Amino acid sequence: MELLGRMTPATADVLEVLLDAGEPVWGLKIVKVTRRPAGSVYPILERLERLGWTTSQWDEDNDRAGPRRRLYLLSDEARASALTVVAGVRDRQARLSAHAAAARA
Cα angle 46-51-52, degrees, rounded to a multiple of 5: 100
- What is the CATH number for 14? 1.10.10.10
Residue 3 resides in a domain: no
Residue 2 resides in a domain: no
- Residue 83 is predicted with a pLDDT of 95
Which domain covers residue 61, as residue numbers? 9-104
Look over the chain and give the mean of its residue pLDDT values, rounded to a whole number.
92
Residue 45 has a CB neighbour count (10 Å cut-off) of 21
Q: pLDDT: is 49 or 98 the higher one?
A: 49
Residue 33 resides in a domain: yes
Burial level of 82, CB count in 10 A (0-12/13-18/19+)?
A: buried
**Taken in order 27, 38, 40, 33, is the CA torsion positive or negative?**
negative
Residue 4 resides in a domain: no
* Cα–Cα distance, 74 to 66 (Å, whole number): 25
pLDDT at 105 over 80: no
Residue 54 resides in a domain: yes
- How many domains, the chain? 1
Residue 99 resides in a domain: yes
pLDDT in tens, 55-84: 999 988 878 888 889 999 999 999 999 999
